[in-house]
Amino acid sequence: MAKRSPNLDRLYALLLFIVLEIVALMMISNDSFFQQVKIGGVYMGIRGSFSKAGSEMKYFVNLKKVNEELNLENEALLAEIERYKRYVEITDTTDTTGISFVPAAVDSVKPQFTYISAKIVSNGTNKKHNFIIIDKGRDSGVEEDMGVVSPNGVVGVVSSVSNSYAYVISMLNVNQSVSAKIGKSGAFGPLIWDGKRADYALLTEIPQHIRFAVGDTVYTSGFSTLFPENIPIGTIRKSKIIKGTHHEIKVKLFEEFRTLKFVRVVENHDKNEIKGISNPDESKDK
Amino acid sequence: MNPKINNTVLFFSFLLAQMLISNFVDFGPMLFIAIYPLFIITLPTSISLVSVLLWGFAMGFSIDILYSGVAGMNTAAAVMLAFLREPVLMLFMRKGEVDSQIRPGMAEMGFSRFLVYSAISLLIFLVTFIFIESLSITYFIGNLPRLAVSFTVNMLLLLLLEFGIFYKNWR
């Protein structure tokens, strides 16, 4: 049999190369589909054997720290409750305006935000695009585009959900941005990650006239429907002026993503209402 | 050993090793550790370009699916490396060697030739990966330190692996 021309072989290879590269690029652009695959049942089974032992070990080693963090958070919450109790008492007894203030029964008040606590199954801090998989999914009420926080700050945003897992775009992802503000002045801008170090992020688009000092705390702005207002994120370190118009501020994050184990998914009950106001056409369609 | 079985065993070993490294080694986002390019660049010269492409695709795809990153980035870089492997290899092969169907490793090519061959291949892989990761030139220039760090570490790892596991004559 005559040998096939080597040029023909090369042509086949070139065609195959182009097809495979296009497949790869399509995979990148359809990443949400693969996120669904990754938190599906089969995948979690395979991946469990790789990551479970490691994450359990990390968790065990950090138990002491987790306990301390929980203690501190409990203290802070108790203090806050006491403050509110006090506030209610004061407003009750010194009512001189004539408008009677009747605090509603605590049970009847519907909070804007509720939290679903979850455990991290898989986490990474060694890439430009880091993702976190948590062990709560649609069955527990987690939905796409919900914020994820921890006692130390913002963790990320839910990207896709399966029945029992959720795929979270970590704050440590160059595509992610969170609306944040500087504590004192209230100037706000997007907080992004530059992909260089796991404990620093950049607060950008702060107007040049805004004054701040190194060590000021940066909070969530509450302008997005994802996160409640005033969650501390980090403290201001270096800053520089970009293009002569705005500050770019380096923020040292409170969050330690490497040792993170427990997170809370933020459920915003007013989300649809807010979306309906800001985008009336879209809500009509639904 | 039958080369097909050999390649399959190597494929899964590299896949497993890469998964373990990706999941347990964390030196921060500046360092991207990849050892599987060694699998692609040392595939035997006897197998056709089409099979090299398919092996590369399979490797990249498996890593993308099993690992929590943006799916497709490893695939794109691995396929690019597999496609450009032959032209690069041709630069370093002597006339008789192309037909003798060897595995282009350190023992067969000699240290210096293998060093340059693997360095060029690894550079192709890393440049593609980082370019696709940022999908723009401006980010790419900002990524040069990352490229330099990753290249140095990966090159050392690659040489160590090749010397430690596949270099048969050192005893």
* Predicted TM-score (pTM) of this structure: 0.80
| Cβ pair A201, A191 in contact under 8 A | yes
pLDDT in tens, A115-154: 888 888 888 888 888 888 888 888 888 888 899 998 888 9
Tell me the C-alpha distance between A69 and A75, whole Å: 10
Q: What CATH number is given to the structural domain containing A190?
A: 2.40.10.350
Residue type, B61: F
* Residue with the larger pLDDT of the pair A195 and A155: A155
Q: Are strands A147-150 and A177-182 parallel, antiparallel or unpaired?
A: unpaired
Tell me the C-alpha distance between B76 and B70, whole Å: 12
Preferred mutation among B31, B70, B139 to probe A, highest tally of A CBs within 10 A? B70
Q: What is the pLDDT of residue B138?
A: 61
Kindly report the backbone phi and psi dihedral angles of residue A249, in degrees, each rounded to the nearest multiple of 5, phi listed first: -110, 130
**8 Å CB contact of B71 and A28:** yes
Quote the tokens at residue B47.
Answer: 């197998």
Q: What CATH number is given to the structural domain containing B13?
A: 1.10.1760
- Which residue range(s) make up the domain with A222? 177-259
pLDDT in tens, A20-51: 999 988 888 887 788 777 777 666 766 655 56
Kindly report the backbone phi and psi dihedral angles of residue A184, in degrees, each rounded to the nearest multiple of 5, phi listed first: -75, -50
Residue type, B81: L
Q: Is residue A89 part of a domain?
A: no
A271 sits in which H/E element: helix A271-278
- The yes/no answer to whether this complex scores an ipTM above 0.90 is no
Q: Which residues of B touch A166 (CB under 8 A)?
A: none
pLDDT in tens, B48-66: 888 899 999 999 999 888 8
- Which residue range(s) make up the domain with B35? 3-170
Q: What is the pLDDT of residue B119?
A: 93
User: pLDDT band at residue A240, thresholds of 50, 70 and 90?
Assistant: confident
Instruction: State the total domains in chain B.
Output: 1
Contact partners, residue A229, CB within 8 Å, separation at least 6: A219, A220, A221, A222
Q: Is residue A153 part of a domain?
A: no
Preferred mutation among A35, A120, A127, A172 to probe B, highest tally of B CBs within 10 A? A127
- Select from A13, A122, A125 the Cβ nearest to the Cβ of B53: A13
Q: How many beta-carbon contacts under 8 Å exist across A and B?
A: 112
**β partners of residue A118:** A263
| Cβ pair B139, A194 in contact under 8 A | no
CA-nearest of B31, B106, B20 to A198 is: B31
Q: Are strands A246-253 and A232-242 parallel, antiparallel or unpaired?
A: antiparallel
Quickly list DSSP for A144-200.
TT-EEEETTEEEEEEEEE-SS-EEEEEEEETT-EEEEEETTT--EEEEE--SS-TTE
Torsion of CA A228, A231, A234, A238, to 10 degrees: 60
Contact partners, residue B82, CB within 8 Å, separation at least 6: B40, B52, B53, B55, B56, B57
CA-nearest of A168, A182, A185 to A250 is: A182
Buried (b) or exposed (e) across A12-51, using 16+ Cβ within 10 A? ebeebbeebbeebbebbeebeebbeebbeeebbeebeebb
Where does residue A258 rank: exposed (0-12), middle (13-18), buried (19+ CB within 10 A)?
A: middle
Q: Is residue A223 part of a domain?
A: yes
Looking at the predicted structure, is the pLDDT value of residue A286 above 50? no
**8 Å CB contact of A38 and B69:** no
Q: Which residues of B touch A20 (CB under 8 A)?
A: 53, 57, 75, 79
Shortest distance, CA B170 to any CA of chain A (angstroms): 33
Q: Is residue A255 part of a domain?
A: yes
Quickly list DSSP for B108-151.
HH-HHHHHHHHHHHHHHHHHHHHHHHH-SHHHHHHTHHHHHHHH
Instruction: State the total domains in chain A.
Output: 1
Shortest distance, CA A19 to any CA of chain B (angstroms): 10
- Helical ranges in chain B per DSSP H: 3-24, 37-41, 49-66, 73-92, 95-100, 106-109, 111-134, 137-142, 144-161
Mean pLDDT over residues A80-105, rounded? 65
**8 Å CB contact of B48 and A128:** no
User: Lowest mean pLDDT: which of A9-13, A279-283, B124-128?
Assistant: A279-283
Kindly report the backbone phi and psi dihedral angles of residue A265, in degrees, each rounded to the nearest multiple of 5, phi listed first: -90, 130
